[in-house]
Each structure stands twice: as C-alpha cells, then as structure tokens.
Structure 1
Amino acid sequence: MLEKALGRAVRRAGAPGGILFTERQLYFELCRGLQPLTRVPRRPRFTVPAPIGYARFERLLGRWNGEVPGLLTAPRRPAPAPSPEVFGYGLPRVLVCQHRDIADMLLANGLHMESVCPVFAVDDLPLDPRLRAAVEAAAGRVYVLHDTGPAEAATVDAVTAWADGVPVVPLGLRPVHARALHLPRVGATAEVAAVNPARLLRTVHRLVREQYRPRRSLTRLPRLRSLAATGYLSWPDPGAL
C-alpha cells in the first residue's frame, strides 16, 4: 500500500512537465496523499500532523527500484557566483531561502533565470556586498522565503542585517497560508517544503515579480478558478477564502 502511495506521490511532485523536487518535498507529497483531510474544501482552515514519520519514509524510499524520477539527489552545491556583468547593472531582486534544499530546488527548476532573481540560502550569508549594491542601484528588494515557526524571525533578521537598508520582503510561509492550504506539518512548524512543488514555483515566481492574485470576482471565471486551484496565482488570499 505504501509503495503505491509513494509512486503516486512521485508523479504528483513532478507534475506538470517534469518538475525537479527534493526528498523533503516528496515526503510531504506522500503525507498529503495519505491524509484525506488535506484535500477537503478550504474552509475551515487547519494544518494536519504528518501521518508517517520521516524515518519510515526514508526506509520506504530506500526500497525504490532504481532512480526516482525528478528527485534531486546531487550533492548540494554552494550558491552560484553572480556573473561579473551583474555588478555593473542594477538588479531588481534577490531571493534568500531559509533552507539550502529549497534554494537548490528553485535553482534546478530555473527560477533564477525566468525571474531574473539570484537565489541563495541563508547560510550563504554574508553575500558579496556588490550584490547588495546592484539591488540598491535598481531600487530593488531582497525577498525571504521561510517556514513558519521559531526560526522565521531569525532568518528574516539575518537577511535584514546583510541587506543594510535595502528593502527586505518576507514572502512567508505564514501560518494563515499553511492553514488555508491544509499543509501537513511536523510538530508545530509548517515547512515551505510541504507546499506542492508546482505551486511553490509558481507562487514564488509571481511574488518576487510582484504579480499578485486578482480580485475574487475575477477568480469566479472557470479558467482562472482552475488556475488558482493548481497554484498559478499566489498564496491563498486570507480575505478571499
């Protein structure tokens, strides 16, 4: 039973179009499939405890025959050095993630290219000061992607200290987002990794480019409503749920 559930989780994590995902993201995708409460309508809002422990998931994954399609298994690389020409021009945005594996996943799926947004992990700090100067020259912003929980404030504070006056915008994850998405959680913390990979990519693309969700009246149209359901628009808008 669990082997079949893992196979379904692999397919969901990589959909659509062969998205690359982390082991932690696959774990939460399995949790989502095993926990029907994560698929109920958005009201009421709540998170749910993970129905399977991570150690058990790792044993299950270890029995997988061959490579897992889409799973990122390469050693985590250091943050890529910006190309020299970046420092000669303004840079509209930089994204710093609380977790290295999430930063790697976003890089592997090309977010830095599509959104003109270098992506780093918080443990890469301090970044090259020329990068900060390039963001400041373009009147840009530094975005922070983080979990809910005690480490959230420390992550934002660390990025703010490096930014030294450049605007810092925390993107979330926030508790209201986690509850609206019915995310599986471990303990009291809802992790960015618990967001479906496709939804995470599309949401971050739009938030760093400040393309926000349209008004509720627009999402009543069938096409826009279907896109919202699959994560093409943004985090859930608490006022529109």
Structure 2
Amino acid sequence: MSAPGPRPVVAFLTDFGAGSEHVGALHAVVAAGCPAADRIDLAHDLVAGDIRAGALVLARLVPLLPGAVHVAVVDPGVGTDRRAVVVSLEGGGALVGPDNGLLGPAATAVGATGAVALHPLPDDAPATFHGRDLFAPAASRLAAGESPGALGTPVDPAGLRMPDLPPPRVGDGTLAAEVVLVDRYGNVQLLAGAADLERAGFTAGDRISASVTDRPHPVTVARAFGDVAPKGMLVHVDSHGMVAIAVNGGDAARRIGAAPGDLLTLARWPLPAAP
C-alpha cells in the first residue's frame, strides 16, 4: 500500500481581527469545500485597510508554507472594479485575493508561474464580503485539486499591482525612510535594510538620533534589545532584515511619536560647538 500524500494546506491572512466572525466564515467555507485541508491562521490583526503593510507581512510568511493555498484579504476596494485573482507559485501553492498591491510582493518573493482573474460573482451577490463569497471558495477548490484555469481567465502575473514602497534617502550620516509597520510592542519598522544602515555609516555601538519631527531622540545602533539598558532605545536590523527602532522593554512608537506613513530620520548627533 502506498503512503498517503500530504494533506492540502489553506492559510489565511486578513485585517478582519483575530476571533471575528469573518475569520470563522473563511474557515467554515474551506472546511465545507475541502474537509481534508489543514487550515492555518497566519495573521488577522493587520492594520485595517493597510494594503502595504499587509503585502509585506504576506511576503514574509508565504515562503514558510511552500505548497499552501494562501487566502489574503486586505481589501478596502471590495466590490469595485479591482480584480480578484489566483496566482500560481513556483514549487506549488497559490495566492488568492484582491489585485490591489497585496499579493504582488509575495508573488515576486516566491515566483509566480501564472495567474487567473476569478470569474465575477453574480450581480445579485453581496458586494462587501469577497473573502467568504469569492476567495475562500476558490481556495477550497484549489486545495481539493482543481486547476486554477477552471476558476477564471488567464492574466499575466507580471501585471500584478505592487504597493508603493519608496526607497530610503541615504547620505553620509543620515538615513530617512518611511515607517511601514508598528507592531503591538511599539517597534517601528522602516522601509530600509541593513545595506542602507551601512551606507549611512552607522555601525554597532554608534549613538545617533531618531526623529519624525524636529525633536531628536537618542538611539544606539545595536544587534539585540539586551544590548542597551532597560528602557534604552536602539536601532537594529530586525528578524525580517529591515531597519527598526525599538525600546528595550518599552514602546518606541509612543516615545518618538511615529506612525505608519511617517518619514523617520536617523542622523549623527551634531558635534559639540568649539569652546
């Protein structure tokens, strides 16, 4: 007797809120359509309507579940003419969700081999819950072994929308980048990476400043939270390879007044004036 094949996996990422009935509806639809599928909640506490942040989180998590069908819903344009798509991924698996920039980074990170625009719902269908009525049913059919081509019309995956990800501005002793995420601990993640920190000339142990207004706050370039004193603030490269501001045992976003979309500047402290 041959060994059974792997169970299909359907993963969910939304801004619905953990424990909401909307998350339950996604699970219920997939459980009914493909009872054999394992269902995994990746994240449901994304900032409501923040497509860019959702896209970056999705791109980090999709590679951890190769072969899975990922239902991603951060969709403030639900019910409009934005496309609903299935994106087939290299190595198997798929992304299912709105083509509003949410799926683009994940498709790029993993590699897209094809895409289809899902057949639209009937005109008399509800217009505001495509997660339940369109994306979850498509995911259950894919998990059950149905071909993406049966679900819609082929489109070029190279045309998937991407979120706005402005590059940082880097100079000698300065790095200015947008805040893209603030997590529940108050850690502030920037649209910048380790190479940008290096190009600015910042190295471990440097005391520099961080500011989103005209008030600079002292921070230390460090590797881990424990490298600074309790309640000390640090700038580091986080587990996702992005530059982040944190407080050891505290809330960096609150301390410096940072929110997603703000421009945050790191700079060397000015030299003391000559006597």
The bucket for the TM-score relative to the shorter chain is under 0.3
Structure whose alpha-carbon radius of gyration is higher: 2
Return the structure number with greater relative CO, CA threshold 8 A, min gap 6. 1
More helix by share: 1
TM-score, length-normalised on structure 1?
A: 0.25
